[in-house]
């Protein structure tokens, strides 16, 4: 869903020339869009990492499920049975530990990436095996094999996808702006707003 790095080039097409820079107006527009898109993806990945680390710390502190989060380019949401003080402490600790180099906190075994990877693998394995299975018994065996195989592979593969594509543990240029609770029932929901550098790294 997210990419590790976007490599962009200035679009040197036809159009009016900027006398100050010597770069066409189209170049500025396309370059600006690339920076915006790349910066948003970077911040989503950073916020996703901070969200994972925050949930991990809440679990360590004894907060019980249901507990989850959702990340955007401007921050992330946490929902669960916990107080505002617990959320604030967890977010600050997560930020401190990630900036200190504890990058593994950005990877979560409960991330939807793992679930999506498992479902995709299960479907692919079952489709391939069933294509070459002629009897009903073999098709049932294929389905069981696919489920078992995807269960074994999905977790390490999901973690690799998180590490390379959907999270970014380097959050040194990401600051927490504020933390607010905007829903109390059925479960408290907190919005954590962040601000980071739009530059692509």
What would the pLDDT profile of 141-198 be if each residue is shown by its tens digit? 767 776 776 667 778 888 999 999 999 999 999 999 999 998 888 889 999 999 987 5
Which has more pLDDT, 150 or 26? 150
Closest of 46, 68, 43 to residue 58, by C-alpha: 68
Q: From the centroid of its chain, how far is CA 21?
A: 37
Q: What is the pLDDT of residue 156?
A: 86
Read off the pLDDT band of 76 (50, 70, 90).
very high
- Structural domains in the chain? 25-105+167-196 (3.30.980), 112-164 (no CATH)
Q: What is the pTM of this model?
A: 0.72
Question: What percent of the chain has a predicted confidence (pLDDT) above 90?
Answer: 48
Which has more pLDDT, 137 or 76? 76
Provide mean pLDDT across the span 110-124. 79
Backbone angles phi and psi of 107, in degrees to 5: -105, 125
Query: Which residues contact residue 151 at a Cβ distance below 8 angstroms, ignoring those fewer than 6 apart?
Result: 118
Contacts 24+ apart (CB under 8 A), 89-95: 90/54, 90/57, 90/58, 90/61, 91/50, 91/54, 91/176, 91/179, 91/192, 92/176, 93/57, 94/50, 94/53, 94/54, 94/56, 94/57, 95/50, 95/53, 95/171, 95/174, 95/176
Provide mean pLDDT across the span 96-114. 93
Instruction: Tell whether the model's pLDDT for residue 29 goes beyond 70.
Output: no
Instruction: Tell whether the model's pLDDT for residue 33 goes beyond 50.
Output: no
Q: From the centroid of its chain, how far is CA 181?
A: 22
Which has more pLDDT, 18 or 77? 77
């Amino acid at each position: 869903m997210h990419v590790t790095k976007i490599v962009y080039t200035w679009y040197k097409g036809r159009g009016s020339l900027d006398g100050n820079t010597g770069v066409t107006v189209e170049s500025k527009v396309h370059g600006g869009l690339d920076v915006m898109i790349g910066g948003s993806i970077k911040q989503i990945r950073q916020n996703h990492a901070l969200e994972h680390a925050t949930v991990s710390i809440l679990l360590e502190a004894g907060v019980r499920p249901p507990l989850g989060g959702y990340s955007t380019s401007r921050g992330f949401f946490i929902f669960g049975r916990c107080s505002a003080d617990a959320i604030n402490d967890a977010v600050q600790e997560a930020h401190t530990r990630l900036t200190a180099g504890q990058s593994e906190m950005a990877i979560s075994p409960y991330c939807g990436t793992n679930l999506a990877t498992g479902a995709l693998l299960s479907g692919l394995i079952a489709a391939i095996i069933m294509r070459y299975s002629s009897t009903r018994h073999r098709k049932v065996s294929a389905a069981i094999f696919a489920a078992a195989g995807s269960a074994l592979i999905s977790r390490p593969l999901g973690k690799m996808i998180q590490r390379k594509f959907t999270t970014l543990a380097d959050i040194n240029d990401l600051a927490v702006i504020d933390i607010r609770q905007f829903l109390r029932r059925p479960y408290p929901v907190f919005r954590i707003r962040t601000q980071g550098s739009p530059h692509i790294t």
